[in-house]
Amino acid sequence: MAVVVAYGAPELLDLCLGGLEQAVPVVVVDNSSNQAVCDVADRHGATYVDPGSNLGFAGGVNIGIARAEGHHVLLVNPDAVITPTGIAGLVAALEADPRVAVVAPAQSGPDGPARVAWPFPTPSGAWLEAAGLSRLRQSTDFVIGSVLLIRAEAIADVGPFDDAFFLYAEETDWQRRATSRGWRTRLESDVTAAHVGAGTGGDPVARETHFQASHERYIRKHHGSVGWWSYRTAQLIGNSARAALRQGDDRHAAGLRMRLYWTGPLRAEAAFDGPSGHVAIAGDQPSHLRVVHVVVTDGFAGVERYICQVASGLSARGHDISVIGGAPDRMTGELADGIPHRQAASVIEAARALAETDADLVHVHMTSAEAASFLAGLRRRRPVVATRHFASGRGTGWRNRMLAQVTAAPIAHDIAISSYVAAAAGGPTILIPNAVEDRPQASLRDPQVLMLQRLDVEKAPEVGIRAWAASGLGTRGWRLVIAGNGILAPALRTLVHDLDCQDSVEFAGLVADTDGLLASTSILLAPAPAEPFGLAVTEAMAHGVAIVAAAGGGHLETVADAGVLFPPGDVEAAGQALIDLADDPGRLRAVGAALRQRQRDWFAMPLHIDRLEALYRDTLAGN
């Protein structure tokens, strides 16, 4: 099946579909909701889909992929043309090698043959380019997506395109993910497609801004914050030199890229001035945000850790961020330097601090923070967004539920941290999955299983302990470390004694250095049957630790099929899963590697912050 993601330009689409209609079924996803595009699709017998808004290229592709129903998918840009003979050649090349995920044809454009195969963008590659040594990078890591045949089995294995990439680099990201899972790409030079290039791209400044912003997303996703700063520095140096030494269009293009990287491509993209397509680059009005995060506690657990990571990430991008609530010593220790923090152990204390905080937008976490924001709003109204961290409605008991409905009324948007939470929220939400920072790879050589969780009923720690006893790993030199406190701690110590495994079990209590603990862990055991998301699980994924988890709640979205899931409460199945991983070090490492890649693909902090920034801007614009 062929998928064409269109945005206006019905004349080009007409030429494109003319080469496809005799060869394969075609789906046209129209991001422009344009009647002329609909008419062209109907004339060529294509299925027309109007998503109702501009989802970007990746979002449009994913709609098409969902309709493919297990067939290979041919992506064709509306400004590209390939013949039925060419399509047959791509199919033959794909089916000749079962480990090839994608095949692309050679391409010709208005100026002659165009380069199709490229090396993956990397910080080191940017430095080679800045030094004028790009000729040293001739590898063919990925092929461009203007005409691309994708194997059905690879789609099932790798997943859909990442719709955080609105325009450009989405095929690069997908092929990077495919390569990490053992798939290959292929350029079939015996087949040629025609490609106009930028046929629906509009203003060249806007097009370049989207292009570079997508590369920032890509580098942040696959190389982290440090890699991004290295890449950005190389781009600044290289384009500054080209802007000084070259002439004409080359000089103009280098100057534009230099200004984009000085501002930051994502910031420039986010500062588009409405439908005019103006881009705010260096010299325009500042695009920083002023946001305060609020949580009403004097403790430190998963929500507080998440707030520290998000606040620090936003601050690193130049935004003015402040935080109210959480254990003062832990919060100030985890927050980046320069982020103001005020303690707030009660609603009144948080409301007072919030009323005195200079911010344009309030981001609240949990119901008590929503109440504090409501009270502060009686004196000073500001737009509010709320993160729903738990799979339940607001408030417990009918009185608290009624009160929560009142205090939640001013909230502009509810954010759900997982689909599981969204389903239980009882109202409209925006899904922005939680995320964690990248972590160093654990050694996976230590015979250690870790349970990192509260010792409360909803976390089912007794299931984990019984599974440990059933595995018998304690008699083979392995040990179980239980990190966390809770009301069940005394009963669990008794259970360990009754099961006669006290010699192999350590109750570590609250552990501040969870990264150090995970670095010496080979398997994380997560028995909670209904985890809303599971930050500890995702942090373990970031370390490349193998995970055995209950198949329920957020684990179905985070761990998914990359880890080992067992039926919730099934002690024997959990114990056997531990045995299987301990007995097969190769599989243990493969599971850890798959989980680490999944964290980077779906739950990386830069992607999460991209989505928060976009929501903040939309909220402020609509206020």
pLDDT beyond 80 at 270: no
Question: Mind listing the pLDDT tens digit for each residue in 413-437?
Answer: 999 999 899 888 877 888 899 999 8
Residue 623: pLDDT band (50, 70, 90) is: low
User: The tokens of 21 are what?
Assistant: 């209609």
- Domains of the chain: residue spans and CATH: 2-195 (3.90.550.10), 204-276 (no CATH), 290-435 (3.40.50.2000), 448-602 (3.40.50.2000)
Contact present, 321 and 314 (Cβ < 8 Å): yes
Which of 18-27, 379-388, 430-439, 582-591 has the least mean pLDDT?
Answer: 18-27
Q: How far is CA 442 from CA 177, 482, 514, 524, 592, in A?
A: 21, 18, 12, 12, 9
Q: Where would I find the H helices in 335-397?
A: 347-355, 367-377
Question: Mind listing the pLDDT tens digit for each residue in 68-94?
Answer: 877 899 999 998 889 899 999 999 999
Question: Mind listing the pLDDT tens digit for each residue in 111-147?
Answer: 678 889 999 999 999 999 999 888 888 788 999 988 9
pLDDT beyond 60 at 284: no
Cα–Cα distance measured from residue 158 to residue 274, given in angstroms and rounded to the nearest whole number: 35
pLDDT, mean of residues 231-241: 90
Question: Tell me, what's the pLDDT at 197?
Answer: 58
Cα–Cα distance measured from residue 594 to residue 486, given in angstroms and rounded to the nearest whole number: 32
The distance of Cα 383 from the centroid of its chain, to the nearest Å, equals 25
The one-letter amino acid code at 386 reads: A
Cα–Cα distance measured from residue 114 to residue 104, given in angstroms and rounded to the nearest whole number: 12
pLDDT beyond 90 at 101: yes
pLDDT beyond 50 at 331: yes
DSSP string, 260-308: HHHH-HHHHHHT-BGGGTB---TTS-----EEEEEE-BSS-SHHHHHHH
Higher pLDDT, 616 or 8: 616
Residue 275: pLDDT band (50, 70, 90) is: very low
Residue 394: pLDDT band (50, 70, 90) is: confident
Residue 523: pLDDT band (50, 70, 90) is: very high
Bridge partners of 505, per DSSP, are: 480
pLDDT beyond 70 at 471: yes
Cα–Cα distance measured from residue 494 to residue 291, given in angstroms and rounded to the nearest whole number: 47
55 closest CA partner among 165, 155, 216, 148: 165
pTM score, whole prediction: 0.57
Residue 396: pLDDT band (50, 70, 90) is: confident
DSSP string, 576-617: HHHHHHHH-HHHHHHHHHHHHHHHHHHSBHHHHHHHHHHHHH
pLDDT, mean of residues 602-609: 89
- Average pLDDT of the chain is 89
User: The tokens of 144 are what?
Assistant: 């461009």
Cα–Cα distance measured from residue 606 to residue 220, given in angstroms and rounded to the nearest whole number: 6
Residue 326: pLDDT band (50, 70, 90) is: very high
pLDDT beyond 80 at 260: yes
pLDDT beyond 70 at 202: no
Question: Tell me, what's the pLDDT at 398?
Answer: 67
Residue 424, φ and ψ in degrees, nearest 5: -95, -5
Cα–Cα distance measured from residue 310 to residue 606, given in angstroms and rounded to the nearest whole number: 9
Residue 200: pLDDT band (50, 70, 90) is: very low
Higher pLDDT, 294 or 317: 294
pLDDT beyond 70 at 464: yes
pLDDT beyond 50 at 278: no
Using DSSP's 3-state secondary structure scheme, residue 81 falls into strand
pLDDT beyond 90 at 501: yes
Residue 271: pLDDT band (50, 70, 90) is: low
User: The tokens of 576 are what?
Assistant: 């056997």
User: The tokens of 541 are what?
Assistant: 């994924």
Question: Tell me, what's the pLDDT at 203?
Answer: 57
pLDDT beyond 50 at 186: yes
Question: Mind listing the pLDDT tens digit for each residue in 165-178?
Answer: 888 899 999 999 99
Question: Tell me, what's the pLDDT at 69?
Answer: 78
Question: Tell me, what's the pLDDT at 442?
Answer: 94
